[in-house]
Amino acid sequence: MNKPIIYLISDSLGETAEKVIKSALLQFGNHREYELVREPYINDKEKINHLLLTIARENAIVGYTLVNPDLRQYIKRRSVELELEAIDILGPMLEAMERMFQKKPRLKPGLSHQLDEAYFKRVEAIEFAVKYDDGRDPRGIEQADIVLVGVSRTSKTPLSQYLALKSFKVANVPIVPEVEPPKELYQTDPSKCIGLKINAKKLNDIRKERLKALGLKASANYAQTERIEKELHYFEGVVKALGCPVIDVSNKAVEETANLILQLQMLR
């Protein structure tokens, strides 16, 4: 027995129709029991008529997402003439919204797939955060909207990524007593720098867990109280020299710290 065929006609990619129809098909079995045929970028009556004749010969059904009301009406009329089962997926919602908003729709296909300026800005910010993570390239400090400064395990990288999703370009600089911070850090606007402070006990616990996850001994110097206190003392000197705001992240989730940083940015 031949599989039932379902055609998807769209004036764009047809992804909307496919998602809706697949959701409905889940109620009737698995994907082996039917065939889906997607027909994208259909925007004139001649193409529609040709498709409908094919669908009628194959005894298939059709679902369609077309923003043009004339084309929707054409499919509706021709499907009745050809005794086809045709489902208008988008039309009734557009018509209801037109009545509610008392406004004509834009009637432009593919709007959900357009990549707007905000999208590109967010992608650029994410790429920036990766490129200038963990002090890899100090040249990013001047270009950044926000510069995070802190010792290891103060959530600099997760914060950078979280803020990047808000379209902020973020660089972060690790503070290590044996390594002088880059000169660019002292040359940039201190108001865009944020020191990430943490208490020694909390940092000790976090670093021990990190060592465990890496399969290393918790007694390593990285998690020793003396070493941690040395790093934190050095960090205090750096942020004091910078004159930048400092946030205590000891008992804060990444989202909470990020919101505080965003508030500081608004004050700028």
At 94, which CATH number?
3.40.50
pLDDT at 259: 94
Whether residue 122 is found in the same domain as residue 88: no
Examine the domain organization and report whether 196 and 258 are in the same domain.
yes
Side-chain half-sphere CA neighbours of 35 within 13 A:
10
Domain boundary pick from 113, 136, 170? 113
Q: Binding site, residues? A: 150-157
pLDDT bucket at 172, cuts 50 / 70 / 90 = very high
Number of domains in the chain: 2
Average pLDDT over residues 172-193: 97
Write down the pLDDT at residue 118: 77
pLDDT at 154 > cutoff 90: yes
Give strand pairing partners of 88: 64
Whether 109 and 136 share a structural domain:
no
Between 19 and 50, the more confident residue is 50
The count of other CB atoms within 10 Å of the CB of residue 252 is 16
Residue type, 240: K
Tell me: do 76 and 11 sit in the same domain: yes
pLDDT of 267: 84
Q: What is the pLDDT of residue 248?
A: 98
Q: Are residues 89 and 209 in the same domain?
A: no
Which residues fall in the annotated binding site for ADP? 150-157
Comparing CA positions, the residue from 119, 181, 117 lying closest to residue 151 is 181
| 252 phi-psi bin (left φ>0, alpha ψ -120 to 50, beta other) | beta
Rg (Cα) of the chain, in Å, rounded?
Answer: 29
- What is the Cα–Cα distance from 80 to 204, expressed in whole angstroms? 74
The mean pLDDT value for 15-24 works out to: 86
pLDDT at 242 over 60: yes
Query: Please, where are the H alpha helices in 171-253?
Result: 183-187, 200-213, 225-242
Same domain? 181 vs 223:
yes
- Strand stretches in the chain, DSSP E: 5-10, 35-39, 61-65, 85-88, 146-150, 170-174, 193-197, 246-248
If asked whether residues 192 and 250 sit together in one domain, one would say yes
* pLDDT value of residue 32: 62
Q: What is the pLDDT of residues 184-230, one digit of tens each?
A: 999 999 999 999 999 999 999 999 999 999 999 988 999 999 999 99
Residues 156 and 259 placed together within one structural domain of the fold: yes
- Identify the domain containing residue 138 by its residue range: 117-267
Q: Which of 113, 145, 160 is the last residue of a domain?
A: 113
Are both 184 and 60 inside the same structural domain?
no
**244 and 152, same structural domain?**
yes
pLDDT tens for each residue of 21-61: 888 888 886 656 788 899 999 999 999 999 999 999 999 99
The reported pLDDT for the residue numbered 264 is 93
Instruction: For the chain, give the mean pLDDT.
Output: 91
Residue 1 in this model has a pLDDT that exceeds 70: no
When comparing pLDDT for 268 and 142, which is higher? 142
One domain for residues 142 and 48 = no
CA 45 and chain centroid, separation: 38
Residues 150 and 236 in one domain: yes
**Adjacent-strand bridge partners of 64:** 9, 88
Q: Output the pTM of the full model.
A: 0.61
Last residue within a domain, chosen from 77, 96, 113: 113
Calculate mean pLDDT across residues 218-247: 96
Longest dimension (CA), the chain: 85
List pLDDT tens digits, range 107-130.
Answer: 777 666 555 677 788 889 999 999
Q: What is the mean pLDDT of residues 160-180?
A: 96
